[in-house]
Structure 1
Amino acid sequence: MQDKMTDAFNAQTRQMFEPMRKINSLMLNNMEKMTQYQLEAMKRYSQMGTERIRSATNIQDAESLRDFGTQQAEMMNEISQQMQEDARAMSEMSLQFKSEMEKLFSDAGQKMTEQATSAAQGEKPGTASSQSSRKK
């Protein structure tokens, strides 16, 4: 008898915490994905900066300064495009995360509704559950 009660309690506890576990897992996965993307972006930008510094150290005359200036303008255009691409990718990841969270909450709400409906149908009509109705 006690084993059945313990098993039932454990099952109810698992059901209660399952949505929170899914939410935490989803949030952790999203955080890992966003962090990884940001680290890769930082690596790209730092490599671009390092390349520019190396190019600047090679300036020896007016002609190499002119070439450096031209390359600098090209690199600024490249950085601008890369930043737009990074912003777009981060936005897509955020929208995907939002969609997954909405689905998770919708599923949890539907499951709670189903459980409430089945619990309401499982009650016998006319049986009182409060102590005040038991008083004579």
Structure 2
Amino acid sequence: MQDNMTDAFNAQTRQMFEPMRKINSLMLNNMEKMTQYQLEAMQRYSQMGTERMRSATEIKDAEGLRDFSTKQAEMMNEVSQQMQEDARAMSEMSQQFKSEVEKMFSEAGQQMSGQAKAATKGAQSAKASSQASRKS
């Protein structure tokens, strides 16, 4: 009998902590994805800046300066577009995370509601059988 109560307690405890475990796992996965994306973006921007600095050191005359200035404007346009793409990608990751968290909370709420109903039915059944045994 004691084993049954311990098993039931362990099962209830696992059910209680399962939604939190899922949310923590989701948050960790999201943080890893976003961190990886940001590191890759930082590497891209750093590479662009380093390439521009290398190009600047190779300027030897007025024509080289003109070419550098033209490429500098192109690079700024490229950086602007890349930043927009990065912002869009981060926004999409955030939206996906938000929808997954909402889904988990909804599922957890439904599960808890079902457990509460089952517990209420079990309590009512136990009360009815207790009252029936008293009458006998």
Superposition TM-score, scaled by structure 1 size:
0.90
What is the alpha-carbon distance in structure 2 between the residues aligned to residue 125 and residue 19 of structure 1? 28
What is the alpha-carbon distance in structure 2 between the residues aligned to residue 80 and residue 8 of structure 1? 59
Ranges of 4+ aligned residues in structure 1 off by more than 4 Å: none
| Identical counterparts, % of pairs | 80
Q: Displacement of 1:123 after TM fit?
A: 2.2
| Paired residues for 1:25-104 under 5 Å | 25-104=25-104
Are 1:119 and 2:119 an aligned pair? yes
The C-alpha deviation readout for 1:102-128, integer Å capped at 9, x for no partner, is 000000001111111111122236939
RMSD between aligned residues: 1.4
Partner of 1:132: none
Superposition TM-score, scaled by structure 2 size:
0.90
Q: 1:2 to 1:60 in 2, by over 3 A?
A: same
Q: Displacement of 1:2 after TM fit?
A: 2.0
What is the alpha-carbon distance in structure 2 between the residues aligned to residue 126 and residue 18 of structure 1? 28
What is the alpha-carbon distance in structure 1 between the residues aligned to residue 125 and residue 100 of structure 2? 40
Which has the larger helix fraction?
2
What is the alpha-carbon distance in structure 2 between the residues aligned to residue 120 and residue 95 of structure 1? 37
Structure 1 residue runs without a partner (length 5+):
129-136
Structure 2 residue runs without a partner (length 5+):
129-136
